[in-house]
Amino acid sequence: MTSIGFRAEKLYGSVWQFAPTEKLQLYQALQVHEPHPNPKIPHWVARAIGRRMSRRWGWSLDTFRTE
C-alpha cells in the first residue's frame, strides 16, 4: 500500500491504518487487522479487504491490471 501512495501507521494492538497521501486524491483511510499468529492473510480476509476497497474508493480488479 505504501508503494502506491498510502501512509501506513500502526495504531494499537494489531490494527494498521492506511491513509491516502495527497497525490492519490482519496479522502478516507482504511484500517485492517494484522493477521496473527500466522503472518499470512487468509483468502477470505483478503477478499473482505478488497470489498472494503471497492466500497470506499470504487476500486475493482481492473484498478490493479498493468499493460
Q: What is the pLDDT of residues 13-49, one digit of tens each?
A: 899 999 988 888 888 899 999 888 888 999 999 999 8
Any idea where the domains of the chain sit in the sequence?
2-64
Decide if pLDDT at 67 tops 80.
no
Four-CA torsion 22, 28, 29, 35, nearest 10 degrees = -140
C-alpha span between 22 and 4 (Å, rounded): 12
What's the whole-model pTM score? 0.75
Average pLDDT for 48-56: 90
Decide if pLDDT at 65 tops 80.
no
Whole-number pLDDT of residue 15: 93
Whole-number pLDDT of residue 1: 84
